Amino acid sequence: MSILIKNVLLGTAKTNILIEGKRFKAFGVPADTPAETVLEADGKAILPAFYNTHNHAAMSLLRGYADDMNLQSWLQDYIWPYEDTLTADDIERGSRLAVDEMIRSGSVFFNDMYFDIERTIDVVDKAGTRACIGITVMEMHSKAVEEQKRAFVEQWQDPTGGRIQLAIAPHAIYTVGTQKLISSAEWARKAGVKLHIHVSETAEEVRNCLKEHGTTPVRYLDSIGFLGPDVVAAHCVHLDEEEWDIMAERGVTVAHCPCSNMKLGSGRFPYELAIKSGARITLATDGCSSNNNLDLREEMKFAALLAKCTGDPTLLPAEMVFEWATRNGAEAFGIDAGVIAEGKVADCILVDLSDPRMTPNHHLVSNWVYAASSGCIRTVICDGKIVRN
């Protein structure tokens, strides 16, 4: 399998790019280089695709089902009762809808935490994209359910030859007790898979943790040996300076979800502290019921503007948030992609420069972050294969 992308803008110059197998083989090749597929990309720019590092994909079925209400009522009166009615077929439909939306908006990967994961795995397999599928752990799950999950992980063989990985996903410190958090971490480390957890999403979570454990969520998780470079911590809205330093030292990946945090009134992500700490920050949409879409381009703009909003227009420049959404996400999940460079795995998109929102092109990344919409995307390539054109 080979793809020749002709006359495409890479940075500030036009070039011809050859993809062979999964990888960018060469840049600046002759225009008549033989390839199985030739994409004429005059008037288009090539950019790395997005990596969505925290999602509940099948919740796309709950898009617009409950908005503009208090968190407790939202969860207890709407989201949980609706979720109780979901069948495995629904999960498949919801996952398919989500993956379709993600591809159209340039994401080739999502880090998921939900139920009936076999169905979601099947959807991703067929779509040709990537995912990290979380095995959800809740305190309320029975021993039988947990044994089933452990058997699943033990017998797991990736049907896609490398596009899907698993994670152990203890939901949060308020739904999983200390012993189960510890055993989840041991389980993940033994299986060699990621750990995926919600951390300090709301001020209430922090208050309750202080009451129950006498310390804050990050300190608590660190005290039980949970934190490490295999952990992906979603949200992290309410961390103090020292907690950020802990996250950086342990090599934890933070999945920042600006739209979800804003829409649920969870609070403003502490950009200053997060950036200063040097922790690896990635970008995510969270599930559709608190967003209500899966569009990482939009999420980049929300993050960059929310950072600046309180008074410092130099905070979180376009290039930095673009890295969060692309390179940092790929790195966090061990995907050798996230940048357009020779030898790297070819996960990329082609963007239409003739769209008014990409015109004029004083600064490609600025246009992509601040001005574009996912409607500017023309082609999506994942793992060296065209998944949308």
Q: Please choose, out of 6-14, 101-109, 223-231, 332-340, the segment that lies near a copy of itself by the rule CB under 8 A.
A: 101-109
Q: Please choose, out of 44-52, 107-115, 220-228, 262-270, the segment that lies near a copy of itself by the rule CB under 8 A.
A: 262-270
Contact flags string 273-312 toward a copy of itself, x per CB under 8 A: ---------------x--xxx-x--x--xx-xxx-xxxxx
CB of 348 to a copy of itself, least distance (A): 20
Q: Does 259 bind a copy of itself (CB under 8 A)?
A: yes
Pairing between β-strand 23-27 and β-strand 13-20 as defined by DSSP bridges: antiparallel
Residue 35 or 79: the one with the smaller Cβ distance to a copy of itself is 79
Peptide bond into 356 cis (omega under 30): no
Q: Does 67 bind a copy of itself (CB under 8 A)?
A: yes
Interior angle at CA 36, CA 32 and CA 39, nearest 5? 65
Q: Does 371 bind a copy of itself (CB under 8 A)?
A: yes
> Residues touching a copy of itself: how many (CB under 8 A)?
63
Helix, strand and coil in the chain, % to nearest 5: 40, 25, 35
Decide: 25 and 340 in contact? Cβ < 8 Å: no
Q: Does 104 bind a copy of itself (CB under 8 A)?
A: yes
Q: What are phi and psi of 312, to 5 degrees?
A: -115, 95
Q: Does 63 bind a copy of itself (CB under 8 A)?
A: yes
Decide: 28 and 260 in contact? Cβ < 8 Å: no
CB of 112 to a copy of itself, least distance (A): 17
Decide: 18 and 3 in contact? Cβ < 8 Å: yes
Binds a copy of itself (CB under 8 A): choice among 68, 85, 140, 142: 68
CA 225 to chain CA mean position, Å: 24
By C-alpha distance, which of 322, 245, 318, 236 is closest to 276? Answer: 245
Q: How large is the angle between the packed helices 178-191 and 143-155, nearest 10 degrees?
A: 20
Q: Does 262 bind a copy of itself (CB under 8 A)?
A: yes
> Per CB under 8 A, which of residues 337..356 are in contact with a copy of itself?
356
- 3-state secondary structure string across 206-248: HHHHHHHHCCCHHHHHHHCCCCCCCEEEEECCCCCHHHHHHHH
CB of 318 to a copy of itself, least distance (A): 6
Report how far residue 339's alpha carbon sits from residue 341's, in angstroms, rounded to the nearest whole number. 6
Q: Does 265 bind a copy of itself (CB under 8 A)?
A: yes
Report how far residue 255's alpha carbon sits from residue 53's, in angstroms, rounded to the nearest whole number. 6
Residue 136 or 290: the one with the smaller Cβ distance to a copy of itself is 290
CB of 371 to a copy of itself, least distance (A): 4
Q: By the criterion CB under 8 A, which residues form the site for a copy of itself?
A: 60-65, 67-71, 74, 97-98, 100-101, 104-105, 259, 261-265, 267-268, 288, 291-293, 295, 298, 301-302, 304-306, 308-318, 356-357, 359-363, 366-367, 370-375
